[in-house]
Chains A and B, each alone.
Chain A
Amino acid sequence: MPRYFTEEHEWIEVEDDSATVGITDYAQEQLGDIVFVELPVVGTALDKGGDAAVVESVKAASDVYAPITGEVTEGNGMLEDEPALVNTSAEEDGWFFRMSIADKSELEGLMDEAAYKEFVEGL
C-alpha cells in the first residue's frame, strides 16, 4: 500500500479507493504530549489543504490539513480515550481518520517516504 507525505507533516496511506490519514512521527515529536484530538465527523467533505482535524498538545492547538479531497468515512475512536497514541504510534495505531479519494491525481503532488525523510532532514 503506497504511503504519501505532505510538507505539513501529514501521512496518507492509500488502499484501493480509500485512504488513511495521520500525522508523522516527526510532527508528534515537535508537538510533545498530545492531550486531545478533534476528529472530523463521518460524512464531512474535505478539501485538499483545508482544515480536517485539530490536535491539542499540552502547549497549543494545531490544525491538521486534508492531504487530498474526499469525504470522511471513519474516525479513529481509540484517540478519544487515548490521545497519547499519537505520541507512541503516530504512523500506525495513532491514525486520525479514513477518507474517500475524489481524485487520485492529487496524490501525485505528494512526497514518498524517502522524499519526506529528506524534507525533514532539511528543516
Chain B
Amino acid sequence: MSAPETHDETLEELPPGKLPLDAWHRDHGARMVPFAGYEMPIQYTGEGGGIVAEHEWTRTSASLFDVSHMGQLSVAGPSEDYAEAAAQGAEALEALLPGLITSLKTGRMRYSMLLDENGGILDDLMVTNAGPRINLVVNGATKWDDIAHLREHLPDEINLHHYDDFALLALQGPKAGEVLEELIPGTGALTFMKADLFEWGTGHVWVSRAGYTGEDGFEIAVHEDAVASLADALVADERVRPAGLGARDSLRLEAGLPLYGHDITTATDPVSADLTFALSKKRREAGGYMGHEPVASVLEKGPEQIRVGLIVEGRMPAREGAEVFAGDTKVGTVTSGGFSPTLGYPIAMAYVDAAHTAEGTSLEIAVRKKRLSATVSPMPFVPHRYYRGS
C-alpha cells in the first residue's frame, strides 16, 4: 500500500517549526504532520479521535482546533489618537484590498483578500477593526509572503506588527457559544463577525465570533504562555473535544469555503473564485486598490471559469487535480474534493468553464480510469449555522 499523500503547503527545506501547543497535542494523542511550516495535529487518536468522529463532533457539539500557524498581524498609522491611527491603517490597507475597511466599525470583521497587480489572489484573510489598530488574520503558509508584500507596499509611516508570540484557538460547533460564555463571560453576546477583548486568567484574550467550519464558533487569540491553560479549560468541558486539520478540511469543504493554495491562488481572481461578495460595491467602480483594473475587467466581461460545487454520484471521491468533462470536452479541474461525512457522499469544488456552471448541470469527473457523474450544486453543501443574534 502506498503512503497516503499529505499536502505539505511549504516548499521550504527547513524542518517544521513547533507551535506553542505542540506538547499539549502530543499529550492528547495527536498524530502530527508537517503543514504550513509547522508540525500540526491532523487528527487525534483514542476515544472520540479520527477525522470523521472529530468532524461529527464539530457539527453536533464543539471542537477545539489549534490554528496558531496562521499569521496574526496588525496595521496602524502614526497618529497618537487611537481611532485616528486605526483610520490611517484602514486607509492604507484599502490600497491593497478590494474591501471597504475605512467604514468598518470598531469590533466588526470582514473577509477580504490581498490581490496582486494581475488581480490574482495572494491570500484571503480576516480584517477586524480592533479599535486602535486594524487586525489581520492571514493563512499560515502565506504569512511571510504577506508580511513582505504589506511592508513593501504600505507607506513607511504605517506600522505593521506580527503577533508571533500569540497562539490562535478556534472553538467551533453549535455548543461553542454556551461553552465559551461559561468560561469567558460576555463572549456569548458577540454575534457573527464581531470581536472584542475579554479578561481570561491574569491576562486578556481577543475573541472573534467567526471560523472556517460553517458552524457557530469563535477564534481566540491568546498569548503563547497562557494557551495551554486555556486549551485545558476548554477540553475540561465534556462538550468540547480537540479536532485536527483533517476534520477542519472536510468541514470547510462542506461549508463551501475555499482553501488558499488549492481553491484560490495567484492564478485565480475574486470573480472567478465566486468571492464577488468580498468586492465592496463602492470600491468596484472607484477602485484604488492593487489589481482593480483586471478584476473590474473580469466583472464586466464575465469570468472564463467559475468556482462551483459538485456533488459526485456514488462513493468514490474526486480529489484535487481531477479533470472535469462535458461529454468528451474537458471543461474544468477539481481544486478540492473528498467524502462528506455529514452528507454521506463525495463532494468537490472545481473551476469549470462558465457555460457549464448553471445549477443542476450534469458533468463528469475523470478519476483514474473511471468517469464519475457529477452535478453542479450550490454551496454551501451543508448550511451555515452562524449566530446572528437571538
Contact = CB atoms under 8 A, between A and B. Distances in A.
Contacts of A61: 4-5, 317, 319
Contacts of A14: none
Contacts of A8: 1-2
B379 interface: no
Interface in B1-20: 1-6
A33 B1 contact: no
Interface string A1-13: 0000000111000
Interface in A23-81: 23, 27, 30-33, 35-36, 38, 54-65, 80
A31 B4 contact: yes
Given A32-B51, A32-B246, A38 B316 contact: yes
Nearest to B52: A33
A79 to B, nearest CB: 10
B339 A36 contact: yes
A100 to B, nearest CB: 21
Nearest to B314: A36
Contacts of A38: 316, 368
B58 interface: no
Contact of A58 (B5, B246, B316): B246
Q: How large is the interface on A (under 10, 10 to 19, 20 to 34, 35 or more residues)?
A: 20 to 34
Contacts of B249: 59
B50 interface: yes
A119 B246 CA distance: 27
B348 to A, nearest CB: 13
A38 B318 CA distance: 13
A9 B2 CA distance: 9
A107 B85 CA distance: 74
Given A36-B316, A83-B315, A58 B250 contact: yes
Contacts of A9: 1
Nearest to A7: B1
Q: How large is the interface on B (under 10, 10 to 19, 20 to 34, 35 or more residues)?
A: 20 to 34
Main secondary structure of the interface of B (DSSP, over half): loop
Interface in B343-367: 346
Contact of B4 (A35, A59, A80): A59
A80 B338 CA distance: 17
Contacts of B107: none
Contact of A33 (B3, B6, B51, B316): B51
Nearest to A59: B246
A57 B1 contact: no
A84 to B, nearest CB: 9
Contact of B3 (A36, A54, A62): A62
Given A56-B339, A58-B338, A58-B339, A35 B317 contact: yes
Given A35-B317, A36-B315, A58-B338, A64 B1 contact: yes
A80 B315 CA distance: 9
Contacts of A54: 368
Contacts of B246: 32, 58-59
Contacts of A31: 4
A62 B339 CA distance: 15
Interface string B359-390: 00000000010000000000000000000000
B42 interface: yes
Given A8-B2, A31-B4, A32-B43, A56 B316 contact: yes
B158 to A, nearest CB: 41
14 contacts: A8-B2, A9-B1, A27-B1, A33-B50, A36-B316, A36-B317, A55-B1, A58-B55, A58-B338, A58-B341, A59-B4, A59-B338, A62-B3, A64-B1
Interface of A: 8-10, 23, 27, 30-33, 35-36, 38, 54-65, 80, 83
